Amino acid sequence: MPHDALWWKKEKDAVRCLLCPHRCLMTENETGLCGLRQNTAGRLITHAYNRVAALHIDPIEKKPLYHFLPGTRTLSLGTHGCNLRCLHCQNAGISQTVPSGGGQLLTPHQLVDLALKNNCPSISYTYNEPVVFYELMYNTAKLAREAGLKNILVSSGFINPNPLRQLLPLLDAANIDLKCFRSETYRNLCGAELAVVKQTLKTLLKAGVWLEITTLLIPGQNDNASEINDMCRWLAQNGFTETPLHFSRFFPAHRLSHLSPTPLSMIRTALSLAHQNGLRFVYPGNVPPSFYQIN
Ligand code: SF4
């Protein structure tokens, strides 16, 4: 459902989106890189509003959030589209496609009602990248807050500072992907910038939003011990020692379907490096039960 977008400005006969660091410049009828925001008659509109492509009730631990409302269920929603191009995308069916009349039409009021009726104390903006459905997330989060529900952002953190600042007062918790710790790898792996994500993490921490971080360890991409050590040291030196860190195991997907799953030994090495650097809450993700028995 086309809806006026936030965060843009006119530039001569084009409009520039100011929502994420791509800062797409769009002439008449052009869409931005995310495929969701379009210059329509000299205004920026979003095609994601009210058009929900994925809606589930998940255990909150699936986000993953291990230290926030543990044992509860969260109403989780996503749309089509993404501002990243992750080679390993695990939701490409929705994130790397645009709405074409599909999806469920659900307003912010209806989403909040669904959460209440299903006894979910929170709503999670997740599955694809919530930044690209900012307006739906923002309006839903406002109503959710009024109804006494918590708001959870599950994101890559590739957002400009001003839109993030406007969202902060409505956020209760976030899980942010820290995809690797080398700038060039970040660009090649997903088309985002490490420096932006680091700043997002610092902003969320400073604002007092409950924060957890996830790193998917991908063989040959971001799984060398020195890079993981650098990441853990940076986290420790920047106030994240109490922030839960999840090292998730990669399984072949999307454009990296030729790779093998992450060896369990690599997950163990990462956990150990994190502990050595003083990070207090570090968890493996996507591992079999035998992982814990061997330990
Ligand atoms: S949100 Fe979409 S349109 Fe806006 S700058 Fe980012 S990729 Fe471009």
Residues 109 and 239 in one domain: yes
Residues 14 and 123 in one domain: no
Residues 10 and 93 in one domain: no
Contact 26, 45 (CB under 8 A): no
Residues 263 and 220 in one domain: yes
Residues 92 and 22 in one domain: no
Nearest CA to ligand 1 atom 2: 34
| pLDDT at residue 292 is higher than 90 | no
**The pLDDT of residue 193:** 97
Structural domain of 24 = 3-46
Residues 285 and 167 in one domain: yes
Residues 33 and 143 in one domain: no
For the chain, the farthest-separated pair of C-alpha atoms sits apart, in whole angstroms, at 63
**The pLDDT of residue 101:** 63
Residues 265 and 129 in one domain: yes
Residues with CB under 6 A from ligand 1: 17, 19-20, 22-24, 32-34, 37, 83, 132
Domain end marker among 15, 31, 46: 46
Q: Which two tokens stand for residue 68?
A: 């926030």
SS3 assignment, position 144: helix
Atom of ligand 1 nearest to the CA of 18: 5
SS3 content of the chain, % helix, strand, coil (to 5): 35, 25, 40
Residues 10 and 137 in one domain: no
| pLDDT at residue 294 is higher than 70 | no
Residues 58 and 171 in one domain: yes
Average pLDDT over residues 245-255: 95
139-165 per-position pLDDT tens digit = 999 999 999 999 999 999 999 999 999
Residues 27 and 168 in one domain: no
Give the C-alpha separation, 19 to 88, whole Å. 24
Can you list the alpha helix ranges (DSSP code H) found in the chain? 92-95, 108-117, 134-146, 161-167, 183-190, 194-207, 225-237, 264-276, 289-294
CATH number of the domain where residue 272 is located: 3.20.20.70
| pLDDT at residue 137 is higher than 70 | yes
**The pLDDT of residue 1:** 66
Residues 42 and 169 in one domain: no
**The pLDDT of residue 95:** 78
State the burial class of residue 60 (Cβ atoms within 10 Å of its Cβ: 0-12, 13-18, 19+): buried
Q: Please tell me the distance between residue 267's alpha carbon and the centre of ligand 1 in angstroms.
A: 34
Atom of ligand 1 nearest to the CA of 31: 3
Give the Cβ contact number of residue 16 at 10 Å: 16
- Note the pTM of the prediction, 2 decimals: 0.96
Q: Please tell me the distance between residue 139's alpha carbon and the centre of ligand 1 in angstroms.
A: 19
Q: How many domains does the chain fold into?
A: 2
